[in-house]
Amino acid sequence: MKKFIIIVCIVILLALGLDTAYYRLGWYINLNPGDVPTTFVRTEGDQILMYDGEDYKPFEIKGVNLGSGKPGEWSTDFAIDKETYKRWFKYIQEMGANTIRIYTVQQDVFYNAFYEYNKDNDNPLWLIHGVWVNDYIQNSHRDAFQQGFRDRFLDDCRTMLDVIHGNKKIGVGRMASAGSGFYLHDISQWVIGYILGVEWEDVTVAYTNEQYADIEGANEYRGKYFYTSPEATPFEAMLAEVGDRVVEYESNRYKTQKLVAFSNWPTTDPFRYPENIERFFMKCAEVDVEHIKTTEDFLSGQFVSYHVYPYYPDYLAYVSDWSAFGINDLTPYYTDGALNTYRAYLSMLTRHHSMPVVISEFGVSTGRGMAQREMNLGRNQGNMSEKDQGKAILMCYDDIKAAGCAGCCVFSWQDEWFKRTWNTMYAVNLKRDPYWSDYQTNEQYFGLLSFDPGDERSVSYVDGDDEEWSDEDIVAERGDMQLSMKYDEKFIYFMVRKDGLNIDSDKIYIPLDITPKSGSSYYEEKNLLFDRAIDFIIELEGKDNSRVRVQERYEVLRSNYSENVYEFNTYLKNNIPSKDSPRFTNIDMILQTATALLYNNLQAPAEVFETGKLTYGNANPSSPDFNSLADFMAGDGFVEIKLPWQLLNFSDPSLMNIHDDYYEHYGIEYIEIDKLWAGLSADDGGPRRAELKPFKLEGWNNHVTYHERLKSSYYVLQKRWRDQDED
């Protein structure tokens, strides 16, 4: 009996050891070293070809980027379940897309869902798989050859290959910025290629090249599948080695090959620009994959991957002499009478490269906030309606096709509440992003799929229909007017009833007291009085001239960007607004545009746009007149308004945290409130002093509600892509 127990223990230990070696450490024995790897996808010139059972045929990548985030969860929680993935795959394919691109190893449920969706599907979805390089590694002291960079990059590439071939087990937290689980389904038959790396930090590239500039052979690599040309840089040599090891590992272990690309974007594109542009944008490095060559042993081939958006960094918008780029006639690059720098840039890429070019990220955001403008054609980073998003995506797609690219992937499939944007992140609590929908942060709204608040529908829709409002929602009254309010994870809603309301001629004001620290009981410009010190006022003055204004002491843009926008330091003693200042200002948002280059003046202030301006229209998605950017709309004797939380200086409404007094802390700190005060005023000869009433606020902590909705842009893109398939 004792011997039997010992034998059983040995067998168990051996089984565990073999399991660990094979599934976790990636050990294997190449039992057929003479076998030649096969491939079903390869490149030829500027095309991608796919084998259809008889021959290789041209294949256009029509894809979407799929993230791992959902409301109430961080992307690194990988909390999306299998049934959700399968539902999304169906939506994606019904849109006319043929490819999904993911950035990193997902939770095992993604691969299980992908396998189940494709295994009996005569028209499968294809996959482009990425390998992520952690942001902390890129922005650290490391160069690309150090152990924490290159070695980790190589390890993660091998892990990704084992995952798609169904031979990996990953413990929680074992792989940075990646999922975990048991990866036992082989999905490799539907994987067409890999995009290795991320949007490279130009300083990391430049630092690597500088560190190894004088080391002989640092810019050289020669492997079985990849090698460098004499013009290569050390960073490009590192990429060549990684690509070679990827193909080698998959060829030896799995006897197959896929397409390989290295991620890139305009910040590290291969072009040189006029000195003033390079200095202003601090463009300090280039990555040119034309310096990375492949051998005949690499059957699939290399393609080029770029993330290119129409608005940033739009270097060409500031170029006067295009001859340096081989462009002497700009006529082909005009669209609707305006210079289309996006199409011109894409054409530069396809002319420069000898291999297929795939624009693996492009898109625009439906967020209310904006971070960049496309100066000529208006495909902006934010402040675009869902219908305009669809039109902009189609315009970009037309540019991509006209430039001769081999395919593209729209960014992105779903909205992502956890995202942040440079020009709003200073104003919110970044540790709480997933727990509310911040409509001012454009980065959260690139998706074709929206997550709207509410389990099945939102608590209110600004649509001229008052069916969701009741007497229980009334907060304040003034003569024949009533103010009602409610809120959810995205908006705070207002409804004003008034007998005989005429939205074009009536002037109605809603004063709001948000913070107990400051505010004014007098609005000097409008000569309005209040029984409490207010911080914001909603001014309804017609369909085209309504807005929200803020008391100047509580103006968040001034607190952080006074020198960029107003050309003075607001924290100097003589520039600090008084706590009870009667001056109310427009609410603006800073835009990172190169005004210095536009005006040839290095001292030119930054450009802003008025984010407090209100848009009139129907904001109900079920309406044929739906405008996702609509802020207010009138009905019969009433007007509805919705405001995003951040517009009223909420840093985290899930905990009801607002901005504290900026001038007590020289910046933004948070305080919690449990109520705000609201009232009514009007330019109608009634009482001059508005009486404000309390409106109770209670946060929802981490318990968010949401429901899915396909955006208008989904159907715009579906019509084009499905019509193409039918042709």
Question: pLDDT tens digits, residue range 170-196?
Answer: 998 888 889 999 999 999 999 999 999
The pLDDT score that the predictor gives to residue 418 is 97
Report how far apart, in Å, the C-alpha atoms of 682 and of each of 134, 450, 497, 520, 530 are: 55, 37, 12, 18, 12
Distance CA 511, CA 682 (A): 11
φ, ψ at 327 (rounded to 5°): -115, 110
The rounded distance, in Å, linking the Cα atoms of 370 and 14 is 59
Residue in 665, 683, 537 with CA at minimum distance from that of residue 612:
537
Q: b/e map of 591-600 (b: 16 or more CB within 10 Å)?
A: bbbbbbbeee
Question: How many residues make up the chain in this entry?
Answer: 727
Select from 540, 546, 519 the least CA-distant residue to 530.
Answer: 519
CA-CA distances (angstroms) from residue 667 to 109, 144, 271, 644?
Answer: 43, 36, 40, 22
Contact yes or no for 649/676 (Cβ under 8 A): no
Residues 606/280, Cβ–Cβ less than 8 Å = no
Q: What is the pLDDT of residue 248?
A: 98
Q: Within the chain, which residues score under 50 in pLDDT?
A: none
Neighbours of 578 (CB within 10 A): 12
- pTM for the model stands at 0.95
> Rounded to whole angstroms, what are the CA distances from 221 to 205, 231, 237, 528?
17, 12, 6, 73
The CA distance from 170 to 490, in Å, is: 36
Of 641, 520, 646, 532, nearest to 584 by C-alpha is 520
β-partners of residue 708 are 451
In angstroms, what is the C-alpha Rg of the chain?
A: 28
Give, as one character, the DSSP assignment of residue 24.
Answer: I
Q: What percent of the chain has pLDDT over 70?
A: 95
pLDDT in tens, 406-434: 999 999 999 999 999 999 999 999 999 99
Q: Which of 666, 669, 670 is nearest to 572 (CA)?
A: 666
- Estimate to the nearest angstrom the gap between the alpha carbon of 417 and the chain centroid: 10
Listing from the earlier edge strand, what are the strands of the sheet with 689-690? 520-523, 528-534, 689-690
Instruction: State the Cα–Cα distance between residues 419 and 532, nearest whole angstrom.
Output: 36
Nearest in space to 406 (alpha carbons), one of 305, 518, 494: 305
In angstroms, the CA 108 to CA 113 distance is 9
* CA-based nearest residue to 414, from 89, 167, 114: 89
Question: Please, what is the average pLDDT of the chain?
Answer: 94
Q: Which residue ranges form the domains of the chain, and what is each CATH number?
A: 60-448+709-726 (3.20.20.80), 460-703 (no CATH)
